[in-house]
Structure 1
Amino acid sequence: MSEANAAAGSTPEGYPGVGRVLVVIPTYNEADNVCRITARLRGAVPAVDILIADDNSPDGTGELADRLAATDGHIHVLHRPGKQGLGAAYVAGFGWARERGYDAVVEMDADGSHAPEELPRLLDAARNADVVVGSRYVPGGKVVNWPAHRLLLSRGGNLYTRIALGMPVSDATGGYRVYRMPVLEKIDYASVSSQGYSFQVELSWRAHREGFRITEVPITFAEREHGASKMSSSIVREALWRVTVWGARTRRDAVLRMLGGRTEAQAARWP
């Protein structure tokens, strides 16, 4: 379905207790997965709408998405000019949802690592929360088909994030989430420039600093079966560097506030 016809096919009443929900699925070279993930999602939660945000995939993902949208009024496609990163795709998707009056936005990977069948539990939790994080690292959560070194890196990075930022979220880098629209508006999502892991951390931290209710729901995270992973060492390095800088600034600001060197408003500015 084209952007011009995006309102057609939406479910006005949306998901009970949450409202109109848009699931944003960024894609780049996901031709092997886009049909599978949308079919599973439509079967698991028929009341939600789907936005496939494609970064001009050379493997034809965008064309496949257009064909899906042409036959299903709940599926929409946002064609972007080129590969600009996961964070930029989500920011564009958030803006698309805001312009069309959605009440909540879901982040979901295209590769099947986030099971659509678990989305109802996240949405149920959103009835009493502002942000819901699908967590691998709370009781009941787990990771399957990951090598030990990657699991150790992920768990270690999340522990470091909790300590550095003082944020009580066990899986701050997790990418399966529900945001109510007022949260995204308040935290100024459009100004977030981080990518990869650090994009998820920054959104979590902004929501935490604003006092929003963040709930973690256990999920099973499964490594992709089709296509190539977009994860790289540069994404991990960016996340660690940004968390370190944000943590240092937070502690510096706290000291300066105590010394009267800065106003509360200055100290509270975004990273």
Structure 2
Amino acid sequence: MKLAFSTNAFTNMTLPEAVAAVGRLGYEGVEILADVPHAFPPRDDAPWVLDVKWQLERYDIKVSNINGNTAAGFFRDRTGEPTFEPSLCNAAQDVRRQRINYTKGCIDLANVLGASNISITSGMCLPGNPPRQALKFLRESLEELVDYAEQREVNIGIEYEPGLLIENGQELFELMQVVASPRLGVNLDVGHVQVIGEDLDILLKKLGPRIWNVHLEDIDRQKHYHLIPGEGTMDFHSIIGKLRHIGYDRYITVELYTYVNEPVNAAERSISFLRPLVKSTEGEIVNEVF
């Protein structure tokens, strides 16, 4: 397992500056925010791509994930509230097309930056678009996207979240059976597992082989607010041990968009807390499933 940090905590910096800040702290990977003020719109020929590549080489780090979960850049007036629209399950075809094209841009960006995966969300059920109908639209959108991703050898990880159309692991597992592509998997946010109260052992058994990236943050009991690891109530030794047990060897990406006023401090404290835990589980017996 390798530790990474998401640039969505570094929105007070340019994307190349954020990548450099993460690299200086000793992380092995960096997640790229495909939203304002970073990689939006996500284009593989954007002028900042070469600068990002240079910083990746300079600090010898890789891109753990292209984070396409939110796309506030579509909106002229920003309120600070994360948005999931335009979504892949929206009732309007032209709105879904916006998100499909945006997601294809994320896939292209992953391809040019050497990332093996992107993350997306299902979107929400807005008024007039009940779950059964929204799920049909989501499936149609995903069928087009997995074909596009297959051609570029990039994986798509859906991140479920309370309040979204796909809001728990069971719903995601069922969706993966319907959209039967080996490119479709999971961007697993273990904080969401805590908030929902899911059984991590059962979840990993179901989704393990298709977990492309893990988002990590601390949560105080079940309140959905991202905290620096070690400052909430989550048992990280147990979590990392369980990931190790199923043979997970991809990135653990710390996601602390709640610390935009002190991103360097948050990233530094996170790696200081997590690195010893990752090392302490290295000798534990694993059950290879990947």
TM range (shorter): under 0.3
* TM-score calculated relative to the size of structure 1: 0.25
